[in-house]
Structure 1
Amino acid sequence: MKKPTHTPTYREALDGLLKAIDGAPTAPDHPIFKKWDDKEYFETLLMFSFRKQQAAEHHIGNVESMLETAEAAAIAAMKNKGKQAKNAVASSASLIVNSGPSTAYIHELSAFLAAVRSGLDFLAVAAARTTPGILAHSIHTLEKMVDKGQQGGILEVVKTHHAWLAELRDYRDEVVHRQVVQAPAEGWLVSTKGKTSKAIIPIVVPRRTPKRAFDTRRSRMMDNDVPLGLDRMESHGQVTFPDGTKKTIEHKVTFRPSASHVPIVELMTHHLLEYRKFSAEMFAVITKSGFGTVK
């Protein structure tokens, strides 16, 4: 039986490429390594792309830490039967305690997207050096070449991941250059209908490129029973006894992301995994090219 082909991980592919750089010759007629400094520059570009991957990991870690802290605070607060927060929004059946929109999550998301995009740009500049006739200043240069139907080598990797690259670019450009995504609500809910149900509100962001929304004093005054990007589900069951008395046997309120939104860590993890996959494939193609010496 034929053994399954091993797909190198991001780090395995990078280590393999670095070893290939070490073994590559330098000569005046070499396509890119004419002198030792050319190797140093090429490796520096690769390491910059790696550092941006580390930056992306850092921002995900920050978000995960904030989520853990917020959850612990919510659980502690829900156990406290004392006076609720001043900004609590009450109704006859439930109480949403909202610490307000959390802009910290959006700042981390914006920095994360910028890091991933920057890492792709460094990698594109390095990869383009191995292909005669290509001078790239960013990944967008390679994307435009693929759009024009050009093929071969590094462009095949770009073509394979074209949909993701476009998705990342649109989302990142909208968030970094054109708007600030509406901050997600952060807090918890306590609902009492015979029995008490408690729920922590999940932090969600738009699944696709976010649409522009007003950020004005008036818009911020608008109260929503259900925070943007979430669906509220409630189950409530009662039994009625022969004497007419009623008893609640079940009451539960939960929140889940609506179809248009996704948990923030899920979105960030998706883009980080795609970045690693794209990079690993690009590392392999560069290695196979012999840095432009293999036709």
Structure 2
Amino acid sequence: MSSDKIFDTLDNYFKKLDSAPVSSIAMFKSEHDKESYETIFMHSFRKYRAAFYHYNNVRRFLNEHEEFAQTPNTQDIGDNGPYNVKLSYSADHYIFELSAFLEALKSSVDFLALGCSLHFPGINCSSIRTLMRLVNNGNNRGLIFDEVRGNLDWLDRLRKYRHHFVHCRIISTSCGYERRVINGVQQIIIYPVIIPEIPPPYIPDTRQRRAMEKSPFFNDSGSYISITNTIDGEKTIDCTLKYPSPQGYIGIEDFMLQYLNSYEKFFTEIIRALSDLDFKYSNPRKS
């Protein structure tokens, strides 16, 4: 997944746009029409770049958290232990970025749908929902509709998750780590930042609920392995604590990356379909 690939795909399409005919019988009646067409797709690209920006912010937060957790604590290391510290805290800044990410990605898809709709005279399209509805209800076929149909599952998930964040409710998440010291050897275990794979049902956001809330990771479900080795008379401790994501949850970075990869696939296929149309109107057909 790369923003450069998206830009290169769009840039090549714009080069083809330069030679598109302008006449009273063509799709573009004037140079202004071509400018408007190009602008719509550039807006789509800029919204995608905004989504990519929020994804990079989450990656930066995760890296900064890991660096903080890995900072040596000489007092802990000096204690031969066993010594175990758990630290967790609310991490709503991740959710703020995720919300903005979903909003930007959905907006990018909507601009893409608007550009596609210009190839369908009589269809007013301000969001991807229109094309999805035509695919679901009308069983339309054709270059653009076939690509929408092939990505229908992901487009539906994007719409629902974004709708959940913008219009219904927000979720919370947390991050943290453990510092384990055994025989003067320190090991750090980073808690993953997780979110639901699909929008969760209603959860009260009250003082009592927040006080009682417990992360699914802060328990004994992880697998802990401790191995003592002797090297040149000195003991070393290898310890691993793994927390597999509970069912229905996913790491926030993995979630965002999956959506960016799905977007890249959809964007590439749509631009390829538009290129094949060669700036002509499309005539939807029934299957």
Alignment TM class, shorter chain as reference: 0.7 to 0.9
TM-score by length of 2: 0.83
Q: How far does residue 181 in structure 1 lie from its aligned partner after superposition?
A: 1.2
Q: Which residue of 1 aligns with 2:63?
A: 68
Q: Which residue of 1 aligns with 2:199?
A: 209
Going from structure 1 to structure 2, the CA distance change for 1:136 and 1:226 (only over 3 Å counts) comes to closer
Gaps of 5+ in 2: 77-81, 229-235
Tell me the amino acid that sits aligned with residue 178 of structure 2: L
Q: Which residue of 2 aligns with 1:189?
A: 178
Tell me the amino acid that sits aligned with residue 144 of structure 2: I
Give the secondary structure class of the aligned counterpart of 1:64. helix
Going from structure 1 to structure 2, the CA distance change for 1:121 and 1:229 (only over 3 Å counts) comes to farther
Q: Distance in 2 between matches of 1:276 and 1:46?
A: 14
Q: Which residue of 1 aligns with 2:120?
A: 131
Going from structure 1 to structure 2, the CA distance change for 1:162 and 1:225 (only over 3 Å counts) comes to closer
Going from structure 1 to structure 2, the CA distance change for 1:173 and 1:229 (only over 3 Å counts) comes to farther
Higher helix share: 2
Going from structure 1 to structure 2, the CA distance change for 1:260 and 1:19 (only over 3 Å counts) comes to same
Asked if the contact 2:50–2:104 (Cα under 8 Å) also holds between the matched residues in 1, the reply is yes
Q: How far does residue 196 in structure 1 lie from its aligned partner after superposition?
A: 6.2
Give the secondary structure class of the aligned counterpart of 1:235. strand
Structural mapping, 1:212-251, within 5 Å: 212-222=202-212, 224=214, 226-227=216-217, 231-235=221-225
Q: How far does residue 219 in structure 1 lie from its aligned partner after superposition?
A: 1.1
Q: Which residue of 2 aligns with 1:118?
A: 107
Matched, 1:96 2:73: no
Give the secondary structure class of the aligned counterpart of 2:18. helix
Matched, 1:15 2:7: no
Going from structure 1 to structure 2, the CA distance change for 1:231 and 1:283 (only over 3 Å counts) comes to farther
- Superposition RMSD in Å: 2.7
Structural mapping, 1:128-207, within 5 Å: 128-148=117-137, 149-183=139-173, 185-191=174-180, 197-207=187-197
Asked if the contact 1:204–1:264 (Cα under 8 Å) also holds between the matched residues in 2, the reply is yes
Q: How many residues were matched structurally?
A: 266
Going from structure 1 to structure 2, the CA distance change for 1:129 and 1:237 (only over 3 Å counts) comes to same
Matched, 1:256 2:244: yes
Q: String of CA shifts for 1:65-123, please: whole Å, max 9, x gaps.
A: 111111111111x52426xxxxxxxxx9843112x110000000010011110000001
Give the secondary structure class of the aligned counterpart of 2:243. strand
Q: How far does residue 237 in structure 1 lie from its aligned partner after superposition?
A: 7.3
Q: Which residue of 2 aligns with 1:275?
A: 263
Going from structure 1 to structure 2, the CA distance change for 1:48 and 1:204 (only over 3 Å counts) comes to same
Give the secondary structure class of the aligned counterpart of 2:244. strand
Give the secondary structure class of the aligned counterpart of 1:257. coil
Q: 1:288 aligns with which of 259, 273, 276?
A: 276
Q: String of CA shifts for 1:166-220, please: whole Å, max 9, x gaps.
A: 111111111222111122x212113467786531111111122333322110111
Structural mapping, 1:26-45, within 5 Å: 26-31=22-27, 33-45=28-40
Going from structure 1 to structure 2, the CA distance change for 1:150 and 1:107 (only over 3 Å counts) comes to same
Asked if the contact 2:23–2:30 (Cα under 8 Å) also holds between the matched residues in 1, the reply is yes
Q: How far does residue 144 in structure 1 lie from its aligned partner after superposition?
A: 0.3
Asked if the contact 1:182–1:213 (Cα under 8 Å) also holds between the matched residues in 2, the reply is no
Give the secondary structure class of the aligned counterpart of 2:141. coil
Tell me the amino acid that sits aligned with residue 141 of structure 1: T
Going from structure 1 to structure 2, the CA distance change for 1:153 and 1:70 (only over 3 Å counts) comes to same
Asked if the contact 2:182–2:237 (Cα under 8 Å) also holds between the matched residues in 1, the reply is no
Tell me the amino acid that sits aligned with residue 26 of structure 1: V
Going from structure 1 to structure 2, the CA distance change for 1:69 and 1:288 (only over 3 Å counts) comes to same
Percentage of pairs with the same residue = 30
Q: String of CA shifts for 1:214-235, please: whole Å, max 9, x gaps.
A: 2110111115374479952223
